[in-house]
Amino acid sequence: MEDKGAIATRRSEQRSASVVEDRPAAAAPSAKLDVARVRADFPILQRTVHGQPLVYLDNAASTQKPRVVLDAIATYYATINANVHRGVHELSERATQAYEASRERVRTFFNAASTREIVFTRNATEGINLVAQSFARPQLAPGDEVLISAMEHHSNIVPWQMVCEATGARLTVAPIDDRGDVILEELERRLTPRTKLLAITCMSNALGTITPAREIVQLAQARGIAVLLDASQAAYHMRVDVQALGCDFLVATGHKLYGPTGIGVLYGREARLEAMPPFLGGGDMIASVSFERSTWNVLPYKFEAGTPHMAGALGLHAALDYIDAVGFEAIEAHEQSLLAYATHVLEQIPGIRLIGTARRKGSILSFVMDGVHPHDIGTIVDREGVAIRTGHHCAQPVMERFGGPATARASLAMYNTREEVDTLGRALLKVREVFA
Ligand SMILES: Cc1ncc(COP(=O)(O)O)c(C=O)c1O
């Protein structure tokens, strides 16, 4: 392996106003992912856990961070830290430039038409709450409906329940089949004249199901119904293009995109966002303030009250550069091959049953083992250095749908290997031995 040959040393095209001025590199992404080179970019992957090499398979909860992201954050604080959009001094101007360059980077990553359509949030959850309160709430009347699917994360259920409760609207749910696919005809039946919004995931964190998002958007919009897509999981596995999808809103979260925590993205069509009142009030989101009345800033600042997470935005910029330097073609090919391999490995282990076998799946394997509680599985494999998630995965209704309160979940990212999947397989055999 080359010493500086890691993916991180590729030059990014979008780095012009970035804080990380010596950020290197963009070669044309190749379709074959060099996993050893990728791994070398993630410092945490060198560590051990309980004396064993870390095998990190909890990526659906949060991914690890490449060094370029850590460097971007440290460089920001070390060289240009100042509040944005406020000062005329050099640091404030540079921080503002870098923050806005991050927004432009997010725009190109999701192919939005304008940076006015890119709102920085804390995470995906905040983006959904923003749309619930500022878009849905003002137009919902008693008897109106908000439609979701049966496999949503709690963050795409609870905000809708809250607005429904406040307005007298109803939350309706499109069912899924035994594989974990949305039943499209059932979804379509629930797109009624009372439906004001459809909010649905692009990829389920609990099952791995990739939904036919574009088709779903078209079904809703043919009836004049707005659509919010939750791309929290999808966005780090595959290209998410908001114009190709045609959605009205889309949310993503930085910490799953190999970026920092505390930074998320809400995409909203400009005309939609323009028509919406602010979500939070405070500094930066105003044009003028008097005791009688305040007026609002232009987009997207109308939705960014208070000091934003500048370092987070810059870290996200570095993360998106990193993903594009590796390339989604290579990422998808690697993860899909690993998913097929891991599915095979798990199927060989006596007593394991996979939950979620959708026709199109991302690299998530939810499973249960006969006679063993998922928490026991998680605890035993942890002793072998293997990090998996156990529990309801913030998706209690879909767990219920599959007949239990919890599963174990191994979720794979671009830096995972077949050897790591083998380690998981051996660790699961130990679980079997313990409970034999
Ligand atoms: C599908 C999905 N939606 C939403 C979220 C919420 O993300 P965050 O907690 O970063 O807002 C998650 C996080 O696990 C998720 O997997």
The string of pLDDT tens digits covering residues 56-107 is 999 999 999 999 999 999 999 999 999 998 779 999 999 999 999 999 999 9
Q: What is the mean pLDDT of residues 153-181?
A: 98
Q: Which of ligand 1's atoms lies nearest the C-alpha of 393?
A: 14
Which DSSP letter does residue 4 get? Answer: S
Decide: 201 in ligand 1 pocket, CB within 6 A.
yes
Residue 11: which pLDDT band, with cuts at 50, 70 and 90? very low
The string of pLDDT tens digits covering residues 18-31 is 333 333 333 444 57
Q: Is the pLDDT of residue 5 over 60?
A: no
H runs (alpha helix) in 87-241? 90-110, 124-130, 137-139, 158-167, 184-189, 213-221
- Unique residue bearing structure tokens 């954050």: 73
- Unique residue bearing structure tokens 């109308």: 302
- Unique residue bearing structure tokens 């910490």: 255
Phi, psi dihedral angles at 170 (to 5 degrees): -120, 140
Q: What is the mean pLDDT of residues 23-52?
A: 81
Give the sign of the dihedral formed by CA 368, CA 186, CA 250, CA 128. Answer: negative
Phi, psi dihedral angles at 398 (to 5 degrees): -75, -30
Distance in angstroms (rounded) separating the CA atoms of residues 32 and 57: 21
Supply the residues annotated as catalytic. Answer: 394
* CB contact set of 63 (below 8 Å; sequence gap of 6+): 236, 255, 256, 257, 258, 413
Residue 13: which pLDDT band, with cuts at 50, 70 and 90? very low
Decide: 125 in ligand 1 pocket, CB within 6 A.
yes
pLDDT for position 6? 43
Percent of residues, the chain, with pLDDT higher than 70: 93
pLDDT for position 8? 42
Phi, psi dihedral angles at 287 (to 5 degrees): -95, -40
Please answer whether residues 402 and 362 qualify as being in contact, where contact means their C-beta atoms are separated by less than 8 angstroms. no
pLDDT for position 85? 84
Decide: 133 in ligand 1 pocket, CB within 6 A.
no
Percent of residues, the chain, with pLDDT higher than 90: 88
pLDDT for position 405? 85
Best mutation site among 233, 240, 409 for ligand 1, i.e. most ligand atoms within 8 A of its Cβ? Answer: 233
Q: What is the mean pLDDT of residues 233-254?
A: 98
DSSP string of 71-88, one letter each residue: HHHHHIIIII---TTT--
Q: Is the pLDDT of residue 176 over 90?
A: yes
pLDDT for position 403? 81
The protein residue whose alpha carbon is closest to atom 16 in ligand 1 is 205
Q: What b-and-e string marks burial along 312-335, b requiring 16 or more CB atoms within 10 Å of the CB?
A: bbbbbbbbbbbbbbbbbebbbebb
Strand 195-201 to 226-230 pairing: parallel
Distance in angstroms (rounded) separating the CA atoms of residues 110 and 423: 35
Q: Is the pLDDT of residue 4 over 90?
A: no
Q: Is the pLDDT of residue 119 over 80?
A: yes
Decide: 129 in ligand 1 pocket, CB within 6 A.
no
The string of pLDDT tens digits covering residues 329-380 is 999 999 999 999 999 999 999 999 999 999 999 999 999 999 999 999 999 9
Q: Is the pLDDT of residue 125 over 50?
A: yes
Q: Which of ligand 1's atoms lies nearest the C-alpha of 203?
A: 1
pLDDT for position 23? 34
* CB contact set of 400 (below 8 Å; sequence gap of 6+): none
Decide: 411 in ligand 1 pocket, CB within 6 A.
no
Please answer whether residues 58 and 357 qualify as being in contact, where contact means their C-beta atoms are separated by less than 8 angstroms. no
pLDDT for position 18? 31
Strand 286-289 to 294-296 pairing: antiparallel
CA 373 – ligand 1 centroid, Å: 24
Q: What is the mean pLDDT of residues 287-304?
A: 97
- Range of lowest pLDDT (197-201, 208-212, 391-395): 391-395
pLDDT for position 392? 87
DSSP string of 130-173, one letter each residue: HIIIIIIHHH--TT-EEEEETT--GGGTHHHHHHHHHHT-EEEE
Q: Which of ligand 1's atoms lies nearest the C-alpha of 255?
A: 10
Q: Across 362-420, where does the E strand assignment appear?
A: 364-369, 386-387, 389-391, 407-411
Best mutation site among 232, 261, 396, 411 for ligand 1, i.e. most ligand atoms within 8 A of its Cβ? Answer: 232
pLDDT for position 172? 98
- Unique residue bearing structure tokens 């000091």: 307
Distance in angstroms (rounded) separating the CA atoms of residues 18 and 102: 7
Residue 12: which pLDDT band, with cuts at 50, 70 and 90? very low
